[in-house]
Amino acid sequence: MTKLIYLDYAATTPVLPEVSDEIVRCLSFDGDFGNPASQSHHYGLDAEKLVERSRQYVAELIGADSKEMIWTSGATESNNLALKGITAQHQHQNKHIITSLIEHKAILDTCAELEEQGFEITYLQPEPYTGLIRPEQVQQAIQANTILISLMLVNNEIGTLTDIQAIGELAQQHNIILHVDAAQAAGKVEIDVDALHVDLMSLSAHKVYGPKGIGALYVRRSIQRQIKTQIHGGGHERGLRSGTLATHQIVGMGEAFHRAAQHIQREQVRLRQLRHYLWTSLQELGSVVLNGHPQQNVANYLNVSFKGENADLIIENIKKIAAVSSSSACNSKNPAPSHVLIALGRSTELAQQAIRFSFGAYTAIEDLQYLVKQLKQQLQKSNFVEFASS
């Protein structure tokens, strides 16, 4: 079987060799396998040092203090801890939350659960086709009893950037806690939680060339007492998340984030060129529309919908050549069209004829050139489109 070109980095990224080396070193008897909570011998103390070094690496990527980082099993748990942890303190008082229709399911499903508990949720409608959530919308949605705003920095399906800094200023002015899902933003854009006025931020390792099953939640020191613990059993992680720390995964996340910090801008320039090439080439194949903002985005994503009589043929052949997604990875087994694209105003037909390309460290221009060449050949064979000889 021919190996597909991997263009699904938004779903997950491969662990870098340098990162996997560090992970393996923490698994065997010859390495730092100890329990970080074991303080009576050097095995535990050595493991704890690595955990704290990794905590520092993750904190540095977002401009935080290491004491504000809480280890979790991933961004989904971080999102749950952020929303449920804050709202648990407001069961009998202020009960309004602001989010949007294009958030990750870890936010939307949690909000649905909170609605059943009596919380009022305002779901902001994104700008048609671009996915922008504007600060003015947030301003208009704020109520006297608003306790929390939860919005993602980079959308996981279309790559559109949200103006979190402006929204953070609004939240600060109204004394509202701001949570940001940054799982798809870390390592792609410069982040400074103080400049953005963010109180809570969810992070994931496997979107940044680290291992699956590990993530973190940034919790601003001033609000840590406002978070109600969701997992009990030992008081680990400043009492906010109990459980034996997985040293190997934590070290993997720390190393991945440390390396990501070193080449964010350079990699964005490289990927921007790849994205432009593919978008320009796809437009030559037939009728295609962009899902997401044409400028306010990260270069790692290109989400398009194909139209016309060629649409099914193009999509079918893309999937024979490249590993891509039709929606986010968490919904890939769901035949329903992407909730993000529907919220953008795309018809059900266009939402179902969408492809998300996502690029990463191992994506080369030769991969995209091969993809385009093969698509043109297939279209020529099918006599749908005539191409001028090159």
pLDDT of 389 higher than 50:
no
- Which helix (H) or strand (E) element contains residue 5? strand 5-6
Please check whether residue 124 lies inside any domain of the structure: yes
Which of 88-102, 140-154, 300-314, 328-342 is least confident?
328-342
Please check whether residue 237 lies inside any domain of the structure: yes
In sequence order, the 6+-apart residues with CB closer than 8 A to the CB of 109 are: none
Please check whether residue 36 lies inside any domain of the structure: yes
Please report how the helices 365-381 and 264-285 are oriented relative to each other, as an axis angle in degrees rounded to 10. 10
How many Cβ atoms from other residues are within 10 Å of residue 303's Cβ?
28
Q: How many residues does the chain have?
A: 390
Query: Which of 159, 186, 176 lies closest to 102 in space, CA to CA?
Result: 159
54 and 165 in a single domain? The answer is: yes
Please check whether residue 390 lies inside any domain of the structure: no
- Which helix (H) or strand (E) element contains residue 72? strand 69-72
Annotated catalytic, 26? no
235 and 118 in a single domain? The answer is: yes
Q: Report pLDDT digits (tens) over 260-306.
A: 999 999 999 999 999 999 999 999 988 899 999 999 999 999 999 99
What is the rounded CA–CA span in Å between residue 328 and residue 341?
11
pTM: 0.93
137 and 191 in a single domain? The answer is: yes
Q: Report pLDDT digits (tens) over 90-100.
A: 776 769 999 99
Residues of the chain with pLDDT > 90, as a percent, come to: 83
246 and 352 in a single domain? The answer is: no
185 and 273 in a single domain? The answer is: no
Amino acid letter at 331?
N
pLDDT of 330 higher than 80:
no
111: CATH: 3.40.640.10
Query: Which of 124, 208, 110, 217 lies closest to 170 in space, CA to CA?
Result: 124
- Of residues 37, 289, 330, 342, which has the active-site annotation? 330
The pLDDT score that the predictor gives to residue 334 is 56
